[in-house]
Amino acid sequence: MRVPNNLNTLMRETDYLKYIKAPASGSYNARYSPRPAMGMAARDIIREPFNPLIIRTRRSYESRDTETLWWQIRVGLDISKKRVVRSWCKRRLREAFIEALKGRGLDANGRRLETAKPGLKGSLVFVGRPNLLTVKFEQLKMDCKTLMDTLQRQNPRLDIRAAPLQQHDKSEQSKSRWRGDEAGEEVGSCSQELAK
**Beta strand pairing status for 18-20 and 28-33?**
antiparallel
- Looking only at the bridges linking them, the beta strands covering 69-74 and 122-128 are parallel
- Per-residue pLDDT band for 195 (boundaries 50, 70, 90) equals very low
How high is the pLDDT of residue 6? 65
Return the closest-CA partner of residue 130 out of 23, 26, 31, 24.
26
pTM attached to this predicted model: 0.72
The C-alpha angle with vertex 140 and arms to 137 and 141, in degrees rounded to 5, equals: 90
The three-state (H, E, C) secondary structure of the chain, written as one string: CCCCHHHHHHHHHHHHCEEECCCCCCCEEEEEECCCCCCHHHHHHHHCCCCCCHHHHHHHHHCCCCCCEEEEEECCCCCCCCHHHHHHHHHHHHHHHHHHHHHCCECCCCCECCCCCCCCCEEEEEEECHHHHCCCHHHHHHHHHHHHHHHHHHCCCCCCCCCCCCCCCHHHHHHHHHHCCCCCHHHHHHHHHHHC
Beta bridge partners of 18: 32
Identify the structural domains of the chain with CATH numbers, from first to last: 5-154 (3.30.230.10), 171-196 (no CATH)
* Residue 121: per-residue pLDDT: 87
pLDDT of 184 reads 44
Maximum mean pLDDT: which of 75-84, 110-119, 161-170: 75-84
Residue 69 sits at the vertex; the CA angle it makes with 63 and 71, to the nearest 5 degrees, is 95
pLDDT tens digits along 57-111: 989 888 888 888 999 999 999 999 999 999 999 999 999 999 999 998 899 998 8
Backbone angles phi, psi at 51, to 5 degrees: -70, 130
44 CB burial (10 A radius; 0-12, 13-18, 19+): middle
